[in-house]
């Protein structure tokens, strides 16, 4: 079978993906920025080239001809695939700034949930989607020079109590993906503590700004206009910090807090 593939432009990053069978091509089609247009036969050299192929009884994920992961099932490589795409996009950002944060649209404003990887952002985002929010991201909030958040349409990576992550599309949470940038309405810095009750207090916008700075990917942390961009982002936002328990309780508390 001939090589199957397509190209995608994601926030200034030119991505080329390829497969050698229908099974692996279907994985790429489903999980590589599924809401972005597919391009075929681009003349430019891509910024990153990704291949997902089957070799004997294993599937291999390659980036620029170097194998970066292998597994017995193709679907098991999707978390690695998404992380590879994240890294490529973040490195090629020119006009946007990334923050480690879940982001959903509620009404006409974005709720930011800053936090490091593995802090439970994705599970909380998924629960908010099930309750009517619009999806922007479960891992990176992309913020422009005016402080607006742009949708970053990666699949969610959820654990649901398991060590391994698995990909979930927003539609599986009955949610749509945002189609335009929106201003920040709220910044909630929540720490997951299973033994605590919901305990959240307002914090000044200056603390909200520092929270965004603390959650900036290292590769972008030295950007000279970062503080100005985040000042714009929090200028119209209400900021909170505190702790939460399980996602069902936290989602309900959040929606009450932001005035559902």
Q: DSSP string spanning 37-77?
A: PPB-S-SSPPSEEEEEEEETTEEEEEETTEEEEEESSGGGG
Is 193 a residue whose pLDDT tops 90?
A: no
Is 220 a residue whose pLDDT tops 90?
A: no
Distance CA(31)–CA(22), nearest Å, equals: 14
Tell me the pLDDT band of 41, cut-offs 50, 70 and 90.
Answer: low
Share of the chain above pLDDT 70, in %: 94
Mean model confidence pLDDT for the chain: 92
| Cα dihedral across residues 92, 96, 99, 102: positive or negative | negative
Higher pLDDT, 53 or 223: 53
pLDDT score for 3: 84
The distance between the two most distant Cα atoms of the chain, rounded to a whole number of Å, is 59
Is 73 a residue whose pLDDT tops 90?
A: yes
Distance CA(197)–CA(177), nearest Å, equals: 31
pLDDT score for 161: 67
Q: Which CATH class is domain 97-257?
A: alpha beta
Intra-chain end-to-end CA distance of the chain, in Å: 53
| 79 within 8 A of 163, measured Cβ to Cβ | no
203-222: average pLDDT: 86
**Strands, E, within 124-197: which ranges?**
134-137, 140-143, 148-150, 156-158, 166-168, 182-192
pLDDT in tens, 110-153: 999 998 766 789 999 999 999 999 999 999 999 999 999 999 99
Residue 105 burial (CB count, 10 A)? 23
Is 82 a residue whose pLDDT tops 60?
A: yes
pLDDT score for 59: 95
Tell me the pLDDT band of 197, cut-offs 50, 70 and 90.
Answer: confident
Tokens 């593939």 -> residue: 5
179-207: average pLDDT: 93
- Please tell me the pTM assigned to this model: 0.93
228-236: average pLDDT: 95
pLDDT score for 219: 60
| DSSP one-letter code for 219 | G
pLDDT score for 72: 94
Tokens 């629960």 -> residue: 127
201-216: average pLDDT: 95
Residue 209 burial (CB count, 10 A)? 22
Domain ranges of the chain: 4-91, 97-257
pLDDT score for 131: 96
Scored b (16 or more CB within 10 A) or e, 78-92 reads: bbbbbbbbbebbbee
């Amino acid at each position: 079978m001939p090589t199957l593939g397509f190209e995608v432009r994601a926030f200034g990053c030119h991505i080329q993906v390829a497969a050698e069978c229908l099974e692996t091509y279907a994985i790429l089609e489903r999980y590589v920025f599924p809401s972005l247009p597919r391009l075929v036969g681009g003349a430019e050299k891509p910024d990153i080239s990704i291949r997902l192929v089957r070799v004997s009884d294993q599937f291999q994920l390659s980036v620029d001809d170097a194998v970066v992961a292998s597994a017995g099932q193709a679907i098991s490589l999707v978390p690695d695939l998404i992380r590879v795409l994240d890294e490529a996009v973040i490195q090629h950002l020119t006009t946007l700034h990334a923050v480690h944060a879940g982001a959903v649209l509620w009404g006409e404003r974005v709720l930011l949930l800053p936090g490091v990887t593995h802090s439970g952002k994705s599970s909380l985002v998924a629960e908010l989607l099930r309750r009517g929010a619009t999806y922007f991201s479960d891992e990176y909030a992309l913020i422009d020079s005016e402080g607006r958040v742009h949708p970053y349409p990666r699949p969610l990576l959820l654990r649901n109590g398991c060590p391994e992550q698995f990909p979930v599309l927003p539609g599986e949470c009955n949610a749509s993906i945002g189609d335009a940038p929106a201003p920040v309405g709220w910044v909630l810095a929540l720490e997951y503590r299973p033994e605590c009750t919901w305990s959240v207090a307002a914090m000044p916008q200056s603390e909200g700004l520092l929270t965004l700075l603390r959650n900036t990917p290292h590769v972008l942390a030295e950007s000279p206009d970062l503080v100005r961009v985040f000042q714009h982002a929090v200028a119209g936002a209400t900021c909170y910090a505190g702790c939460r328990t399980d996602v069902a309780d936290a989602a309900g508390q959040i929606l009450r807090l932001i005035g559902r």
